[in-house]
Chains A and B, each alone.
Chain A
Amino acid sequence: MYTSLTNRRSFIKKMAIMSAMTAAATMFPGIIFADEQERDLPNGGDLDWKKGPCRFCGVGCGVLIGVDKGKAVAVKGDPNSSVNKGLLCVKGYHQIMCIQAEDRLTHALVKKNGKYVQTPISEALDIVANKMKETMDTHGKDSVAMYTSGQSTIPEGYVASKLMKGAIGTNNLDCNARLCMASAVTGFLTSFGADEPMGCYEDIDHADYFITWGNNMAEMHPVLFSRMLEQKNRRGAKIIDFATRTTRSSMASNKSILFEPQTDLAVANAICYEIINNGWVNKSFVENHVNFNKGLTDMGYGLEDNYAFEDKPTPIDFEAYKDFLEDYTPEKVSKYSGVSVKDIKYLAEI
């Protein structure tokens, strides 16, 4: 991934090819391109490779950053990382471009007379510290807060915690995870009864079927997707892409099933209808681990102005759930979901 940068354009072109080859490899592990084309790609040269984590998403890939004269000029997946085993996704491959982006904030800016003025970092930090102190002196320690990022490293989080909780003595420390992970936790708790994703990377090595339900993993989580593909090729595990449009995930799957937007919950109900009516229910699992609640079946679109709805889930029993599913026979659902009766039955049989 390195060149002298004398010809930035040709370097960028090679990076574009490299990204495409990587994306291809996540869909078709073992894919081969002509030797002479691969030979032409930028290599590591005599760069100093530094280890680090990719901080773009929660997959947590290990990266190696090629440094030349103190400047990050190349990036590649860390082959020793058990998470990504040398692979990176397109975001990971492009992170050095962010480091060198022209519009990147590289120095402190302080607003003076309505305008941002470049200020030495020590002076800017003094301003922050003085303002915090002033506010605390007047209004108490809970009048200040720190809002950080879910992408903070563990040492950064530790220092932030020490400062806010240990030194200042307030609990006002939060980050953007409140908006994303906290809602995921609520979803996990209400759906699965535990506040964690219902699986781990190792499960991928044992699963027989993967259904990418409304999730274009080949492009969004290509590193994890490559693990699924590995199982597909090695053990014959099957990937079924269930989505509203054809994507790279559809191309790489064993079967692609398309549905009309906003109808997949009905398809899920039709799958349950089939399972129950064919006597495939795991009774002891249902008795021990499943609660049935009935709520609104039509809560509106949700994105209109002043949207509001009220819903109180009412507990029902299995028989009532079975009756409720009469509205969701594969034949009825097929009409508006665009998923054939055959495909609904196929999904139920898995």
Chain B
Amino acid sequence: MPIKSYLAHPQDGKKAELHAALTNLSHCEVIPAENEDLLIVVTDTNDISEDKNLKEQIESIASLKLLAMVSGFDTPKSN
């Protein structure tokens, strides 16, 4: 049950586009900064393979310049 948070840097002028693309993904929460070109992405998946797939999907978004992981947790689903 991995939970991870990332900082996502958009390509120049592509913040809104990146926000929209990320919002479309399931298991993915997006918190855009109001005054900087930066978005926080939190992923909450059921297992490692789902987590890996989601990360690959995020990294393939064209408007993304850099995805940097900040924290990662693995936690049981039951609690």
Q: Report which A residues bind B (CB closer than 8 A).
A: 7-9, 12-13, 15-17, 19-21, 23-24, 27-28, 30-34, 37, 90, 93-94, 219, 246-248, 251
Contacts and interface: CB of A to CB of B under 8 A. Distances in A.
Contacts of B5: 16-17, 19-20
Interface residues of B, number: 28
Interface string B47-79: 000000000000000000110101111010101
Contacts of A17: 5, 31, 40, 42
A7 B32 CA distance: 25
A28 B34 CA distance: 12
B36 A34 contact: no
Nearest to A35: B34
Contact of A32 (B33, B65, B66, B77): B33
Interface of B: 1, 3-7, 9, 31-36, 38, 40-42, 44, 65-66, 68, 70-73, 75, 77, 79
Contacts, number: 86
Contact of A248 (B3, B7, B71): B7
A16 B71 CA distance: 6
A8 B70 contact: no
Given A12-B3, A19-B5, A34 B73 contact: no
A9 B3 contact: yes
B71 A94 contact: yes
Given A12-B3, A13-B42, A20 B35 contact: no
28 contacts: A9-B3, A9-B79, A12-B3, A12-B75, A15-B73, A16-B73, A17-B5, A17-B42, A19-B5, A20-B31, A21-B40, A24-B36, A27-B38, A28-B33, A30-B35, A31-B35, A31-B36, A31-B38, A32-B33, A33-B34, A34-B32, A34-B34, A37-B31, A93-B71, A94-B71, A246-B66, A248-B66, A251-B66
Q: Is the interface of B mostly helix, strand, loop or mixed?
A: strand
A115 B31 CA distance: 50
Contacts of A251: 9, 65-66, 68
Contact of A28 (B36, B44, B68): B36
Contact of B75 (A8, A21, A32): A8
